[in-house]
Structure 1
Amino acid sequence: MLDQIPPPLAFLADAVTTRRRALGLTRIDLHGAGGPSDSTMSRIENPTVSTAYPRPSTLDRLDTALRWKAGSAAGCLDLRVPTPLEDVAAPAPVEDPPTHNWNPVSVGQRSDPLDFDYVAVPVDVLRDGLMIIQQNLTPADIAGGATALRQLIQFAQKLSAAHATEVLERIGGPGRPMPGFLQITFAPYLLEEVPFDEPSEQQRDDQRYRRWLVGAADDVSGRYERRLDRKLRAIALDAI
């Protein structure tokens, strides 16, 4: 896990390279259109485990040269597909925000507001945490030594697994094409063997679910299909 290219950098590299080629631009052409220098583009399109995240000014220059909607390059670091300017529609009329007046119990939620299993975390928080853990740490860097480092790596694996599940769900499930770089990035979480020491049954089930999402496992009972359907409905409603 520690020697993998961070998914955000791999996603950005794929999006930038694909768009540049679609526009018929060389890296020199891109620089002439207001984009980053050739050397910077080389690092963006061919990231390594030690590649630094692009500066905000560099991301803005990518938007300009690639004719993307402002913020698209930065959105790639959150695994969001960039929006070409030619696809930007006129803004919809502003409507009054909906008002909600409901009782949590009436919509099937638990009566105890502190009783829940999951919490939404911004992608940048997740990414920052993984970047810290992916540094070349040694037992001497951590007060708890080798034991603490092992626990930190295990925590990073859990975060990476959750991240993989989220991305694969948003791609859409079996039968939908998955970018090759994601197959490499998420490889440990798509194998039959769960990449955890003494994995829980939930971790085993999540691993099977991810394998089903990429078409590598069956869903005889239809349980995974229902799980994905619930997630996609929530995404469509902007519930998460």
Structure 2
Amino acid sequence: MWVQQPVLRALLHRVEAMTTRHPEYLGQVVQARREELGLSKQAVHAAVGLNPRTIDKIESGQAGRIRNDTLPRLDTVLQWKDGSALDAFTKHLPPRVTAAADVPQPTSKVLYIPIPANLFQDTVAMAQRVTEVAGDDERLAPLVEGMNTIADRMLRAWTIADIEHQRFDGTLSAATIEMLLGHYLRRAPQAPTADDHTELLYLRWLLERLPESESERAEEFAQRWSQMQQTLSATRRINR
């Protein structure tokens, strides 16, 4: 019996190691890293499919049992090296952050150039004057409509870019939101195509004013915002 004691102790040690959990520590490092990256819970859900309620449970330290595929997803979205979330959960070890050079950065589909806001305002004003001059002339109607659509798209693109940068910098205030909504949406913005409609909805989502009837598109917009955050982060690192 004495000979078997070392073997028994070893087995007990292995069982203990397999069942040791540190949910509170995992929750602390997950929340800290998510906030460091500027990711909302909805953005995490959009990126790797983790339900916001699951994230809530993890960050509150109440996740005593976690599915096998959850921890690798945390590694991915939080830009940790493989196995970091598992080590934090089972060994109370600090996560290992992936080097910035190892993280593939998304390429922006939009080239942002510093164009003064008054240039867009002048374009919109010009389109309005052309509409007034044209009156009911049917020959000019298609040209007027086309110019108004282009002016509207330019103003909307500038407004979205401005809001994205303010959200990223944490400077978007409630007063600014109401001002932007009033300034832009009071013009009865046009949505002649599905893409125009999508951009309008994304603008409203950024301002947390997405209509309830379009709530099923929130995940799509959260994913788009998550990608934009990564693009802006990469740009800031390059320009430092």
Higher share in helix: 2
Larger Rg: 2
Greater relative contact order, per chain length (Cα 8 Å cut-off, separation 6+): 2
- What TM-score, normalized by structure 1, do the two folds share? 0.39
- What TM-score, normalized by structure 2, do the two folds share? 0.39
